[in-house]
Protein backbone atom coordinates (compact mmCIF):
# COMPACT_ATOMS: atom_id res chain seq x y z
CA UNK A 1 0.00 0.00 0.00
CA UNK A 2 2.86 2.40 0.80
CA UNK A 3 4.22 2.10 -2.74
CA UNK A 4 0.84 2.93 -4.28
CA UNK A 5 0.44 5.96 -2.01
CA UNK A 6 4.01 7.02 -2.87
CA UNK A 7 3.33 6.87 -6.61
CA UNK A 8 0.12 8.91 -6.25
CA UNK A 9 2.04 11.40 -4.10
CA UNK A 10 4.68 11.67 -6.81
CA UNK A 11 1.97 12.45 -9.36
CA UNK A 12 0.59 15.09 -7.00
CA UNK A 13 4.07 16.58 -6.72
CA UNK A 14 3.99 17.25 -10.44
CA UNK A 15 0.50 18.74 -10.06
CA UNK A 16 1.55 21.23 -7.40
CA UNK A 17 4.77 22.10 -9.24
CA UNK A 18 2.90 22.92 -12.44
CA UNK A 19 0.21 24.80 -10.50
CA UNK A 20 2.89 26.82 -8.72
CA UNK A 21 4.30 27.91 -12.05
CA UNK A 22 0.87 28.82 -13.37
CA UNK A 23 -0.12 30.73 -10.22
CA UNK A 24 2.12 33.63 -11.32
CA UNK A 25 3.42 34.29 -7.82
CA UNK A 26 0.12 33.30 -6.18
CA UNK A 27 -1.70 36.08 -8.05
CA UNK A 28 -4.11 33.66 -9.77
CA UNK A 29 -6.67 32.01 -7.51
CA UNK A 30 -7.37 28.63 -9.13
CA UNK A 31 -3.74 27.58 -9.70
CA UNK A 32 -2.89 28.83 -6.19
CA UNK A 33 -5.63 26.66 -4.66
CA UNK A 34 -4.58 23.65 -6.78
CA UNK A 35 -1.02 24.22 -5.57
CA UNK A 36 -2.07 24.27 -1.91
CA UNK A 37 -4.28 21.20 -2.10
CA UNK A 38 -1.77 19.28 -4.22
CA UNK A 39 1.08 20.17 -1.87
CA UNK A 40 -0.77 19.05 1.27
CA UNK A 41 -1.93 15.78 -0.30
CA UNK A 42 1.47 15.07 -1.84
CA UNK A 43 3.37 15.70 1.40
CA UNK A 44 0.80 13.75 3.39
CA UNK A 45 1.17 10.76 1.09
CA UNK A 46 4.96 10.99 1.22
CA UNK A 47 4.83 11.07 5.02
CA UNK A 48 2.51 8.05 5.04
CA UNK A 49 4.80 6.09 2.72
CA UNK A 50 7.84 6.95 4.85
CA UNK A 51 6.25 5.15 7.78
CA UNK A 52 7.21 1.84 6.14
CA UNK A 53 9.66 2.70 3.35
CA UNK A 54 13.21 3.98 3.87
CA UNK A 55 13.38 7.78 3.76
CA UNK A 56 16.00 7.96 1.01
CA UNK A 57 14.18 5.52 -1.26
CA UNK A 58 10.77 7.11 -0.71
CA UNK A 59 12.08 10.62 -1.31
CA UNK A 60 14.02 9.65 -4.44
CA UNK A 61 11.00 7.88 -5.93
CA UNK A 62 8.69 10.79 -5.05
CA UNK A 63 11.01 13.38 -6.60
CA UNK A 64 11.74 11.20 -9.63
CA UNK A 65 8.08 10.70 -10.45
CA UNK A 66 7.22 14.35 -9.87
CA UNK A 67 10.13 15.71 -11.88
CA UNK A 68 9.58 13.36 -14.79
CA UNK A 69 5.87 14.13 -15.00
CA UNK A 70 6.41 17.89 -14.65
CA UNK A 71 8.88 17.87 -17.55
CA UNK A 72 6.64 15.57 -19.62
CA UNK A 73 3.67 17.88 -19.01
CA UNK A 74 5.77 20.84 -20.06
CA UNK A 75 6.77 19.03 -23.23
CA UNK A 76 3.16 18.06 -23.96
CA UNK A 77 1.94 21.65 -23.57
CA UNK A 78 4.82 23.18 -25.51
CA UNK A 79 6.29 24.99 -22.50
CA UNK A 80 9.40 22.73 -22.61
CA UNK A 81 11.39 21.86 -25.67
CA UNK A 82 11.45 18.20 -26.67
CA UNK A 83 14.93 16.89 -27.35
CA UNK A 84 16.31 13.40 -27.62
CA UNK A 85 18.67 14.10 -24.71
CA UNK A 86 15.82 15.20 -22.42
CA UNK A 87 13.71 12.18 -23.33
CA UNK A 88 16.67 9.86 -22.78
CA UNK A 89 17.40 11.39 -19.39
CA UNK A 90 13.73 11.09 -18.38
CA UNK A 91 13.74 7.43 -19.39
CA UNK A 92 16.87 6.97 -17.28
CA UNK A 93 15.19 8.67 -14.33
CA UNK A 94 12.15 6.40 -14.61
CA UNK A 95 14.51 3.43 -14.86
CA UNK A 96 16.20 4.51 -11.64
CA UNK A 97 12.84 4.84 -9.86
CA UNK A 98 11.84 1.35 -11.00
CA UNK A 99 15.24 0.08 -9.93
CA UNK A 100 14.71 1.48 -6.43
CA UNK A 101 11.40 -0.36 -6.23
CA UNK A 102 12.95 -3.61 -7.42
CA UNK A 103 15.91 -3.25 -5.05
CA UNK A 104 13.59 -2.72 -2.10
pLDDT for the residue 41: 98
Give the start-to-end residue ranges of the domains of the chain.
2-103
pLDDT at 103: 87
Model pLDDT for residues 15-48, shown as the tens digit of each residue:
999 999 999 999 999 999 999 999 999 999 999 9
DSSP 35-46: HHHHHHHHHHHH
Does 67 score more than 80 pLDDT?
A: yes
Strand (E) or helix (H) holding 12: helix 2-22
Nearest Cα neighbor of 38 from 14, 3, 62 is 14
Using DSSP's 3-state secondary structure scheme, residue 88 falls into helix
- What confidence score (pLDDT) does residue 100 get? 86
Please state, as a whole number, how many other Cβ atoms lie within 10 Å of the Cβ of residue 91.
11
Q: Name 19's Cβ contacts closer than 8 Å, sequence gap at least 6.
A: 31, 32, 34, 35, 38
- CA 52 to mean position of chain CA atoms: 20
User: 55-77 and 2-22 are packed helices; what angle lies between their axes, rounded to 10 degrees?
Assistant: 40
Can you give the pLDDT at residue 1?
Answer: 95
Q: What is the pLDDT of residue 11?
A: 98
Amino acid sequence: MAWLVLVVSGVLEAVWAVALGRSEGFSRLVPSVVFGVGLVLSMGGLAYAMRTLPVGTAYAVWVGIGATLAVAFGMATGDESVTAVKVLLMVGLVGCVVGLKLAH
